[in-house]
Amino acid sequence: MTLIKSISGIRGTIGGKASESLSPLEIVKIVSAYAIQRRRSCKIKSNYIVVGRDARISGDMVKQIVCGTLQGLGFDVINIGLASTPTTELAVTMSEACGGIILTASHNPRQWNALKLLNEKGEFLNQEEANEIIQLAERTDEFVYADIDHLGKYYKDLSFEQKHINLVKDLELVDVEAIRNAHFKVAIDCVNSVGGLILPRLLNQLGVERVTGLYTDPTGFFGHNPEPLEQNLTDIKNLMKQGGHDLAFVVDPDVDRLALICEDGTMFGEEYTLVTVADYILQNQRGNAVSNLSSTRALRDVAARYGATYTPSAVGEVNVVTKMKETGAIIGGEGNGGVIYPAAHYGRDALVGIALILTYLAKKKMTLSQLRATYPNYVITKNRIDLKPEMNIDAILDAVKKHYSNEKITDIDGVKIDFPTAWVHLRKSNTEPIIRVYSEASTEEEANKLAEDVINQVMSLI
């Protein structure tokens, strides 16, 4: 059994000892701490908290505990039902709520669930706020619950799915008429979660001519490993190889990551979802771009085409958003298919990505594989260095930084070494005694060789 508390939320497996899993007791403690933090820190006067969830089997159980705990603390709950992560984020601001809780473990397998915590802007809490909640959750003597006359109210509002779609359709750079005139035939894989509810509705309203769905029934019984990586997408790749579709969209269980498959069944590359959206945005609007340190260099190259400044951020959505605000970026995200377009909202949103990519393809009048060929070709590989728990990972990374001091070094999150035509990023895991090693070059062979050289150098320092 596993329980992980971090800036990304509180996630864990269902079942087992209370302190070693996402148990009902842990859920009550975290939600209580979050509610107290919202009372102290919310910058607007509101008594509402939004709750939305993906289709996980444990979702209904977790939802009932979360909603009841919030009511017990005197908050009025707006339950928006089965909803994507970006839908829940938008519901917070649309409801003028003081926060929101998303019940999703994103791409983790079915035995996992999580609480993702939002502020009044519908954005994830920062590191300081997350740490405050984690510490407060262990001080249960500070929990003061409402008396019988001040219990919170409970509302159910299922209108936000359509409100989310309306927001996407109304974006200045989304052209519904162009999409309709392109007569797109699209396949989707929604891994039997909430994407199966909202994606067909979005595509229909965007004017897509035909939609073929795989795993669109939101049962929570995932049709395959829910992370949208090539090795997990055999079924939809085979469907695309049969012909008859222009492209395929694949989302994870909470619909904040977007992967594309070309008309011939080949992977577009998850790193290139953000690159493509940025290419379209930066052609039409002046501004800058941001992605995390472990994302492809192709975004930097595309930004340079349009005279835009590219800035890297530490890994993590909240860090990307913070850097975007600092640099005035009009597009940003993460290389795992997470698109953040501030004209919509400051959150990864597959619906926004879908609408912008369909518009761009309609205007370019080319296939998805032809569009992919217009971008620099890079390959990212992912490796790890296993260490003994007693080893000082920070000291090891400092030694690596000194060894490669003649190269361009970025150390806002681990150590990234930028070589002229490639890079390697080393960062310590928050959950294991390992160093994650990401590398990028023009070919997989080159990227692996570069990672191997750096790993060997690290091992020589241990």
Residues with a catalytic annotation lie at 106
Residue 222 class from Cβ within 10 Å (0-12 exposed, 13-18 middle, 19+ buried)?
A: buried
Q: Residue 225 forms beta bridges with which residues?
A: none
Rounded Cα distance between 436 and 384, Å, is 5
Query: How far is CA 442 from each of CA 255, 380, 406, 417, rounded to the nearest angstrom?
Result: 30, 9, 22, 16
Q: Which of 273, 253, 247 is nearest to 188 (CA)?
A: 247
- The three-class DSSP label of residue 344 is coil
Q: Which of 168, 214, 198, 189 is nearest to 358 (CA)?
A: 168
Rounded Cα distance between 244 and 259, Å, is 19
54 C-beta neighbours (distance < 10 Å), count: 28
Amino acid at 231: Q
Contact between residue 315 and residue 293 where contact means Cβ atoms under 8 Å apart: yes
Amino acid at 75: F
Q: Which residue has the tokens 């609408």?
A: 355
H or E stretch including 102?
Answer: strand 100-103
Contact between residue 208 and residue 169 where contact means Cβ atoms under 8 Å apart: no
Decide the pairing of beta strands 408-410 and 434-441.
unpaired
61 C-beta neighbours (distance < 10 Å), count: 15
Decide the pairing of beta strands 408-410 and 415-418.
antiparallel
Show the tokens assigned to 219.
Answer: 């049962």
- Sequence-separated (6 or more) residues with CB below 8 Å from residue 373: none
Amino acid at 339: V
Contact between residue 51 and residue 101 where contact means Cβ atoms under 8 Å apart: yes
Q: Which of 286, 258, 290, 293 is nearest to 272 (CA)?
A: 258
Q: Distance of alpha carbon 248 from its chain centroid, rounded? A: 19
